[in-house]
Amino acid sequence: TKAGYPHFMLKEIHEQPQGIRETLNRRLDENNQIMFDDINLDKSNIDSITNIYIIACGTAYNAGLQGKFALQKIAGIKADADIASEFRYSDPFIDENTLVILVSQSGETLDTLAALREAKSKGATTLAITNVIGSSIAREADNVIYTWAGPEIAVASTKAYTTQVVVFYMLALYLADIKENISKENYSHIVDELLAIPDKVQSIIETEEKIKKIAEKIKDNTNGFFLGRGLDYSIATEASLKMKEVAYMHTEAFASGELKHGTIALIEENVPVVAIATQDNLFEKSLSNIKEVKARGAYVIGVTQISNRTIEEVADEVIFIPETDDLIAGITAIVPLQLLAYYVSILRGLDVDKPRNLAKSVTVE
C-alpha cells in the first residue's frame, strides 16, 4: 500500500533514510567494521583483481557510475561501468583476474543476466548487487550483496539507487582494507560519514516544499540540462533520467567540461540548467560554468553543500544539501533531484508511478 502517500514514488523517496540505514546495518559489526564474510574473495583473490567491470541498465547503471568512482578512489582498483546491452557485444577484456559486478534492483533484467552469463563463461568472478532475494541474477552470480531498500513498486527507481550506491562504498572500503590501501582512521571516518547519511537525507526530504516551488518554475519548459564534473556528472546522469522518465521533459546530462565542445550551443533564454557542484576541489570550475550558461540566459538551479554559499551570487535558485565528506556527496545530492522530477511530473498531471511505455522489470532485449 501507499501508506498514506499519494504515490509510490514519493513514498519510496521518503523511505530512503530507512533503506540506507538497513543496508548499512546489515553489513556492519559492533565495531563498525564491514562484514562481507559470505563473499568468496580472500586476500589473494582480491590482490589478484586487476580490473572491475560494473554492468547494469538504466538507473542501476547510473549507480554503477558512482560505484566506479568509489572503487577507484577508495580501493584503488581500475573500474569501468558499462551498459549491459552494450557490454555483451563489445568483446570485453575479461579473464580470471576480472571482477564483474552486476547491479540490478529486480535481479531479472535480461541484458544484465546475459552479461553475467558471458562474464562467468570467460572465467571472471561475479558479484551481484540486487534488491530481490533469490532473483535470477542473485542465484547465478558467484556472490551477492543485497540492498535492503524494501520492495520498490514505482517504475522509476529511487531507493534502490541510493542503497546500491551505499553498497558500492561499503565494498570499496572492504576491498581497500583487505588490500591495505586505507588507514584505520580514514576507514572509520568514511563509515561514520555513511552512518550519518540517513539523517541528512531526511533533512533534505523536509525541504520538499522548496523543491516543489522550483518544480513550478520549470514545469512548462520542454528542455533542460544537468551539469556536473566528476562524481557530480554521474549524479547529473541519474537526475536527467528521472526527469525524462517521469516528467517527460527532454533533458540531457553534460559533463561540465564538455560544454565548450559543442553543447553550449543549446543554451538559450530561460532554459533550466541544474548545476550540481558538491565537490570542493571542483567548485570554482563549476562556478565558472554556471556563469557561462547564465550569460546565455539559462535559469540556473545550483545543487551544493551548505558551506558553498557563494553559489547564491550566480545561480537563480540553490538547493543546499547538508555538509558531508565530498567522497559520498552523491548519495545525498540525488535526493532533491528525485523530488524535482516527481513534482514536475505531478504538476504536469502525469501518471508518475507508471510512466508511459515503461515496465518495472525488463525481461526482453
Q: Please give the residue ranges that form the binding site for ligand F6R (CB under 6 A).
A: 57-60, 104-106, 109, 112, 156-157, 245, 361-362
Cβ proximity to ligand F6R, 119 vs 173, nearer residue: 119
For ligand F6R, the closer CB: 58 or 230? 58
C-beta closer to ligand F6R: residue 28 or 350? 350
Provide the minimum distance between the beta carbon of 179 and ligand F6R in the complex, in angstroms, as a whole number. 28
- Of the residues 122, 212, 244, 360, which is catalytic? 360
- For ligand F6R, which residue has the nearest CB? 58
Find the angle CA(178)-CA(193)-CA(63) to the nearest 5 degrees. Answer: 75
For ligand F6R, the closer CB: 182 or 247: 247
> CB of residue 59 vs ligand F6R: minimum separation in angstroms?
3
Residue 360 annotated to the active site = yes
Pick between residue 144 and residue 298 the one whose CB is nearest to ligand F6R: 144
Four-point Cα dihedral 285, 287, 291, 293, nearest 10: 80
Residue 303 beta carbon to ligand F6R: minimum distance, rounded to whole angstroms: 19
The full 3-state SS of the chain, as one line of letters, equals: CCCCCCCHHHHHHHCHHHHHHHHHHCCECCCCCECCCCCCCCHHHHHHCCEEEEEECHHHHHHHHHHHHHHHHHHCCEEEEEEHHHHCCCCCCCCCCEEEEEEECCCCCHHHHHHHHHHHHCCCEEEEEECCCCCHHHHHCCEEEECCCCCCCCCCCCHHHHHHHHHHHHHHHHHHHHCCCCCHHHHHHHHHHHHHHHHHHHHHHCCHHHHHHHHHHHCCCCEEEEEECCHHHHHHHHHHHHHHHHHCCEEEEEEHHHHHHCHHHHCCCCCEEEEEECCHHHHHHHHHHHHHHHCCCCEEEEEEECCCHHHHHCCCEEEEECCCCHHHHHHHHHHHHHHHHHHHHHHCCCCCCCCCCCCCCCCCC
Taking the complex as a whole, how short is the minimal distance between the CB of residue 243 and ligand F6R, in angstroms?
Answer: 11
- Residue closer to ligand F6R, measured from CB, 212 or 354: 354
Residue 80 beta carbon to ligand F6R: minimum distance, rounded to whole angstroms? 18
Q: Quick one: CA dihedral 135, 139, 141, 146, positive or negative?
A: positive
Establish how many alpha carbons lie within 13 A of residue 303's alpha carbon, considering only the half-sphere containing its beta carbon: 29
What is the CA 63 to chain-centroid distance, rounded? 4
The position carrying cell 553498497 is 167
Least distance (Å) between residue 69 CB and ligand F6R: 18
Closer to ligand F6R by Cβ: residue 109 or 162 = 109
Q: Minimum distance from CB of 245 to ligand F6R (Å)?
A: 6
CB-based contact 335:204 (threshold 8 Å): yes
Q: Catalytic residue positions?
A: 360
